[in-house]
Structure 1
Amino acid sequence: MNVFVTGHRGYIGAHLIDLLKQGGHTVTGCDLNLFEGCGWEPVVPPDRELVKDTRAIEVSDLDGFDCVMHLAAISNDPMGALDPKLTFDINRDASIRLARLAKQAGIPRFLFAGSCSVYGKGTKLDLDENDPLNPLTAYAQSKIETETAVSELADDTFSPVFLRNATAFGHSPMLRIDLVVNNLLGSALAYGEIRIKSDGTPWRPLIHCRDIARAFIALAEAPKDVVHNRAINVGDNAQNYQVKDVGDQVRRLIPSATVAYTGEVGSDPRDYRVKFDLLNRLLPDFKLQYDLVSGMEELHRKMVEHGFSKADFEGPQFVRLKTLEGRMDRIS
């Protein structure tokens, strides 16, 4: 395939380019390079690279591709809250525009990086794709509205697929620690303390960032009639955890660390346990390569090798919100 990837220099995108190249695909990456200098390890480059805001992509940029994999976004709840209007401008409006351009360019498949956060405060446990959506943030709302609008573009020649990804974690060349698993492990290494900001009871479905990249490729290669215009939860039923369970796994790796419930966010309203039966049914051969234990062991090993420190935990390199706050002029 000839693939156009947005956000290829991001936390998941770095894995996606690596896997696509390993699979023999031709890849063009498009990224504003907003987080330049945040890399942890060398990244595999695409065959061709556009340093460009997704809002500035033109139809001529998309000529000749078989698939668009759209990852670029203001990428989590705290970042989305920094400027909700900008979040909708980039996450929703630019995504819908990109889908229209892809359709105009004759690209048959469009994969959109969504999120299980669209379920927000779940009305029940074990939510599937047909359950009510309950977004609590601009980030989650932007994902829902994009799904709705892009779905209306689907026809015999244009096939969108919406990946509602579980909460990402794990090692990446573009490491982030503003994600629950990575954050708790990082705080244990930085302070000897596992700082849980809620009461620890909220549920989160978890998935290694490299497995999300693998899911993109599997869905790009799947037959059209299997995945056409579907929203699909991406993860595994066995990888739903309460935040306090993640803290327990951190203590297994770092027994000297203590657990501290800081209460910063009070009772976290984001609480959702998710089912992934549809993914298993549509792609029975697709299995996650990581679980929470193996993914955390790898990340812990990498952090120790890199000498991860308090300065790393508190600085902007691995906390996207801190970097973004200093570079808002590039996107506003």
Structure 2
Amino acid sequence: MRVFVTGHKGYIGAHLVDILKQAGHHVTGCDIGLYEGCEWDQCVMPDVDLVKDVRAITAKDLETHDCVMHLAAISNDPMGDINPEITHSINRDASIRIAQLAKTAGVGRYLFSGSCSVYGQGEKLDLEETDPLNPLTAYAKSKIDTELEVSKLADDGFTPSFLRNATAYGYSPMLRIDLVVNSLLGSAIAFNQIRIQSDGSPWRPLIHCKDIANAFYAFLHAPKEVIHNQAINIGGNSENYQVKDVADYVEHLMPNADIVFTGEVGHDPRNYRVKFDKLNDVLPEFKLEYDLKLGMDELHKAMIDHGFNEHDFNGSQFVRLRTLQKRLNKLDAFQIR
């Protein structure tokens, strides 16, 4: 099949291109290259490498493709809050427009990279897809708005699906440490301190970044009737953890590191466990490749092998927000090209 992947040079996209290419699919990647130079390891290249702002994608770009996998976004809450208007322009407006163009171009399937952050401060724990949404950030709200508008496009010839991904972590050729698991492990290696910004009590559903890519691949091949116009939580029921649980396993890997509560965040209102029963029902053959321990073991080894240090933790290469702030004044990154 011919697959169009936006954000293919990102944390998840780097895995996704590799998986699709290994399976023999033709991959067109579309990425503005905002994080060029942030590579940790060599990335597998797509068949077509389109350097373009997602807001400038045309129907012609999408013609002849069987599926659009839309990953490109301002990728987390702090980055989204820098400029909510830009976040909505890229995460919401461009996402809706690409879906419209995909339908016009005859693309049969549109897979949207959503987020479990749409549940925000849940009214209860163990949230499922039918529970109320309570977005706390521009990032989360943009994901909800996209789901609502794109779902209206669904018909017999166009199948959108919304993958509400759990919180990502783990090794990627495009490493990020601005994620709770990676940050805790990175600080332990760099400083011998496991730096917890909250009180450690909030719950998070966690998923290895490669398993998110694996889910996209599974949705590519899933029967249309089980994923058509569906929002589905992506993760595993056993992979809900409190932040302090993650810190405990970091301490297992780094026994000389001290747990330090920095108090930067204070009370974190983002507290939610998520149920993944629907994913298990619609795609019973899909299984996570990683649990938290296996994923952390892999990342720990990679960080040690790469000589991860204080400079890496404090620098901009692995923290998307710092890279973004650094480059905003140097290039007009958010202008359509």
What is the TM-score of this pair, normalised by structure 1? 0.99
Does residue 282 of structure 2 align to residue 282 of structure 1?
yes
Counterparts of 1:109-258 in structure 2 under 5 Å?
109-258=109-258
Q: Which amino acid aligns with 2:114?
A: G
- State the Cα distance separating 1:313 from its structure 2 match: 0.1
- The gaps in structure 2 that reach 5 residues or longer are none
Number of aligned positions between the proteins? 332
- State the Cα distance separating 1:275 from its structure 2 match: 0.1
Report the counterpart of residue 27 of structure 1 in structure 2.
27
Alpha-carbon distance between aligned partners in 2 of 1:76 and 1:58, rounded to the nearest angstrom: 26
Report the counterpart of residue 89 of structure 2 in structure 1.
89
Counterparts of 1:312-323 in structure 2 under 5 Å?
312-323=312-323
CA offset digits 1:119-176 (Å, max 9, x no partner): 0001101000000000000000000000000000001111000000000000000000
- The gaps in structure 1 that reach 5 residues or longer are none
- Identity in percent: 68
CA offset digits 1:232-253 (Å, max 9, x no partner): 0000000000000000010010
Does residue 54 of structure 2 align to residue 57 of structure 1?
no
Alpha-carbon distance between aligned partners in 1 of 2:249 and 2:334, rounded to the nearest angstrom: 38
- State the Cα distance separating 1:104 from its structure 2 match: 0.2
- State the Cα distance separating 1:308 from its structure 2 match: 0.1
Alpha-carbon distance between aligned partners in 2 of 1:83 and 1:326, rounded to the nearest angstrom: 15
Alpha-carbon distance between aligned partners in 2 of 1:232 and 1:57, rounded to the nearest angstrom: 26
Alpha-carbon distance between aligned partners in 2 of 1:306 and 1:4, rounded to the nearest angstrom: 32
Alpha-carbon distance between aligned partners in 1 of 2:333 and 2:207, rounded to the nearest angstrom: 31
Report the counterpart of residue 103 of structure 2 in structure 1.
103
- State the Cα distance separating 1:220 from its structure 2 match: 1.1
Alpha-carbon distance between aligned partners in 2 of 1:209 and 1:262, rounded to the nearest angstrom: 26
- State the Cα distance separating 1:330 from its structure 2 match: 1.1
Q: Which amino acid aligns with 1:193?
A: Q
1:330 to 323, 328, 333: 333
Q: Which amino acid aligns with 1:41?
A: D
Task: Indicate the SS of the match to 1:112.
Answer: strand
Task: Indicate the SS of the match to 1:317.
Answer: coil
Moved over 3 A (4+): none
What is the TM-score of this pair, normalised by structure 2? 0.98
Q: Which amino acid aligns with 1:253?
A: L
- State the Cα distance separating 1:106 from its structure 2 match: 0.5
Alpha-carbon distance between aligned partners in 1 of 2:62 and 2:118, rounded to the nearest angstrom: 29
- State the Cα distance separating 1:21 from its structure 2 match: 0.5
Report the counterpart of residue 306 of structure 1 in structure 2.
306
Q: Which amino acid aligns with 2:213?
A: A
CA offset digits 1:89-144 (Å, max 9, x no partner): 00000000000000000100000000000000011010000000000000000000
- State the Cα distance separating 1:53 from its structure 2 match: 0.3
- State the Cα distance separating 1:331 from its structure 2 match: 1.1
Report the counterpart of residue 45 of structure 1 in structure 2.
45
